[in-house]
Amino acid sequence: MKAVGINGYGTIGKRVADAVAAQDDMKIAGVTKRTPNFEAKRAVELGYDIYMSAPDRENLFEEAEIPVKGTIDELYDKIDIMVDCTPGGVGAKNKEIYEKMGVKGIFQGGEKHDQIGKSFNSFSNFNDALGADYVRVVSCNTTGLCRTLNPIKELGGIKKVRAVMVRRGADPGQVKKGPINSIVPNPPTVPSHHGPDVQTVMYGLNITTMAILVPTTLMHQHNLMVELESDVSIDDVVETFEKTPRVILVDASRGLGSTAEIMEYAKDLGRPRGDLFEIAVWRESLNIVDNELYYMQAIHQESDVVPENVDAIRAMLEMETNSEKSIARTNKNIGIIG
Amino acid sequence: MKAVGINGYGTIGKRVADAVAAQDDMKIAGVTKRTPNFEAKRAVELGYDIYMSAPDRENLFEEAEIPVKGTIDELYDKIDIMVDCTPGGVGAKNKEIYEKMGVKGIFQGGEKHDQIGKSFNSFSNFNDALGADYVRVVSCNTTGLCRTLNPIKELGGIKKVRAVMVRRGADPGQVKKGPINSIVPNPPTVPSHHGPDVQTVMYGLNITTMAILVPTTLMHQHNLMVELESDVSIDDVVETFEKTPRVILVDASRGLGSTAEIMEYAKDLGRPRGDLFEIAVWRESLNIVDNELYYMQAIHQESDVVPENVDAIRAMLEMETNSEKSIARTNKNIGIIG
């Protein structure tokens, strides 16, 4: 059993912790918290050891009656790898500390590729992370693009991808972000960073992206236009997506015509926190005109990268060298259907 | 002075009425109302004669103390043309009545092209409406596409257009429509009807569109990818948009980075109802890669078709045979800057 630390037990960190804890070949050695909030309290209830990520805050945790095991410095000895789930930009600074402490580290999509050196997606470049010390799991949007573009590339070859990403303005628990009643080009420049980000794991892919923010909290939505190299049929695409792990086809005609209904479905599936680890592709949206494939998909921004973090651990610690086996193992342990 | 009737004094009707009244070559002979609501009261205050569109409702209007001039049947004699602004689908039925009464009619984008027979955009096919009896002004989204695609087509030729339309869920005054917190593919099939609708006025244009609904009320937002036939520069495009009437360039860097801020700007311009008749193109979004032009634009769904309705009146009554002159006259009279 490999021992995993989680640095930053927030939106992503708590989910990765649960996914790691659910595996049969790794365990959580401890999680770090800066603030003794409700998530810290819940971590204790779930049996995770808490280490303070900032010094001199014992009294805050004492006041909140949340027991801590020590500071983050005492956690490094106990782990084989740290999954850094701190806010974007903090991870790159933490990397220097991990290097000094001689501990491997996984970072999230909020960090810059160049600062970590290697990016990761289970389906695109698993092998490149084998034995690596520092790896960045690409963002939720990029992960969503890779999940469906990879199998399409294998099926028919990709000449050019155009994608318009309609992003949720804030996560459900974020009350200080907007927009409330507006559509915000973000960035207002074209292309957005998502295309280059996909290229950090799908090397050489010809892709241009545009992105906007809208006033919703539930999921991102992507509109894809994929020029194919060879002749494929919609049936081929359906068959491909049906057998692709972590991708599900949903039918608007069966009541799954929006991101809200898809989230309702995830709750009905009994998923922890109502998460949907899979990318949901609207079956009705699939169309091919002049060798160009069109489709729409929904991305649960809080959870789709979670299984990728688990696979990255296996690759970096060389617990598994076959991506398909790691993906299958991760999926089975966290109950992924797609 | 030509006499114009407005059938349906709602979101579009009241705006067209004001725009017609502001012209120096036409006047409002009367507007119809079915219900004596606040809009009916305001119409009286503005000096418009009200005709009831449904019979046997005198007592309702009497109760509301809103004076009426008669029923719609009494309005036909007084007008040269009727602008039908009734809800989508009703206009096609009204057309049969107008034919019987021998009155010309303009319809809105909610009607089907085939049922009206001729569609209209001031910049795309003004001449085809000269002397016509029945014409449909294309929808706000289609009008927005035509406004910017027409000049681009003239500038560099268009090989293929891909557009993703992010539509507002409801108008600001609609309290019974959604979505509230969701992204809704609408339609969930690809392509959406917007491409074919553009083709009703820009004949033969190669265009594919995808559309979604989002929880905002202010404006639609479009993401455009336009493959060009010839080499043009961003400077060419900027210059073209700068001289195109009813198109304005806005800078995210100057505080116009969202639909909300653009609407705030329209209010600051002192526009009636805070309307923005022009299509707002984000200057920063303009980019050309591999002879493909990318841009983002915002469409004020309640008002962008208003000047087109005025131009359609002039074309159909042959008050003006030159589109540019009609556009300039309309613009001047309603204070359009772009």
DSSP of A252-292, one letter per residue? GGGT--SHHHHHHHHHHTT-GGG---SEEEEGGG-EEETTE
Contact B183 A214 (CB under 8 A): yes
**Taking residues A81-99, what's their average pLDDT?**
97
Q: What is the pLDDT of residue B55?
A: 83
Separation between Cα atoms, residue A221 and residue A43, nearest integer Å = 31
Q: What is the pLDDT of residue A53?
A: 94
Residue B94 annotated as binding site: no
Q: What is the pLDDT of residue A55?
A: 83
Pair B215, A216: CB distance under 8 Å: yes
Least Cα separation, residue B172 to chain A (angstroms): 10
Q: What is the pLDDT of residue A56?
A: 85
Least Cα separation, residue B237 to chain A (angstroms): 15
The pLDDT > 70 percentage for chain B reads 100
Can you tell me which residue has the tokens 């009896």? B133
Separation between Cα atoms, residue B233 and residue A317, nearest integer Å = 50
Instruction: Kindly list the structural domains of chain A, giving each domain's residue range(s) and its CATH number in brackets, ordered by start.
Output: 2-138+305-334 (3.40.50.720), 140-299 (3.30.360.10)
CB-nearest to B188 from A215, A252, A260 is A252
Can you tell me which residue has the tokens 């989508």? B88
Contacts of B249 in chain A (CB under 8 A): none
**Taking residues A236-255, what's their average pLDDT?**
97
pLDDT band with cut points at 50, 70 and 90 for residue B228:
very high
Quick: pLDDT tens for B69-81: 999 999 999 999 9
Contact A287 B181 (CB under 8 A): no
Query: What does pLDDT average to over chain A?
Result: 97
Measuring CA to CA, which residue among A103, A111, A225, A217 is closest to residue A164?
A: A225
Separation between Cα atoms, residue B36 and residue B65, nearest integer Å = 9
Instruction: Give, in degrees to the nearest 5, the angle at Cα A332 between A331 and A336.
Output: 50
Separation between Cα atoms, residue A90 and residue A53, nearest integer Å = 12
pLDDT value at B37 more than 70: yes
pLDDT value at B275 more than 90: yes
Instruction: Give, in degrees to the nearest 5, the angle at Cα A153 between A151 and A159.
Output: 155
**Any bridge partners for residue A32, and if so which?**
A7, A51
Contacts of B301 in chain A (CB under 8 A): none
Contact B289 A208 (CB under 8 A): yes
Confirm or reject contact between A337 and chain B (CB < 8 A): no
pLDDT value at A338 more than 80: no
Q: What is the pLDDT of residue B56?
A: 85
Q: Which helix (H) or strand (E) holds B82?
A: strand B81-84
Separation between Cα atoms, residue B19 and residue B10, nearest integer Å = 14
Quick: pLDDT tens for A273-326: 999 999 999 999 999 999 999 999 999 999 999 999 999 999 999 999 999 999
Q: Which helix (H) or strand (E) holds A83?
A: strand A81-84
Separation between Cα atoms, residue B211 and residue A159, nearest integer Å = 24
Contact B298 A218 (CB under 8 A): no
**Taking residues B293-302, what's their average pLDDT?**
98
Quick: pLDDT tens for B123-179: 999 999 999 999 999 999 999 999 999 999 999 999 999 999 999 999 999 999 999
Q: What's the DSSP call for residue B171? A: -
pLDDT value at B19 more than 80: yes
Query: For residues A298-335, b (16+ Cβ closer than 10 Å) or e, as one string?
Result: bbbbbbbbbbbbbbbbbbbbebbeebeebbebbbebbe
Six token digits for residue A316: 């970096």
pLDDT band with cut points at 50, 70 and 90 for residue B338:
low
Residue B301 annotated as binding site: yes
Q: What is the pLDDT of residue B193?
A: 95
**Taking residues B284-292, what's their average pLDDT?**
97
Residue of A141, A192, A223 to mutate when probing chain B, most B C-beta within 10 A? A223
Six token digits for residue B142: 């289609």
Pair type for strands A104-107 and A70-71: unpaired
Quick: pLDDT tens for B49-103: 999 998 889 999 999 999 999 999 999 999 999 999 999 999 999 999 999 999 9
Can you tell me which residue has the tokens 């280490």? A51
Q: What is the pLDDT of residue A279?
A: 98
Choice among A50-64, A137-151, A197-211, B10-24 with the minimum mean pLDDT: A50-64
Q: Which residue of A has its CA nearest to B251?
A: A188
Helices B234-243/B140-156 angle, 10° precision: 130
Q: Which residues of A are catalytic?
A: 140
Separation between Cα atoms, residue A32 and residue A43, nearest integer Å = 10
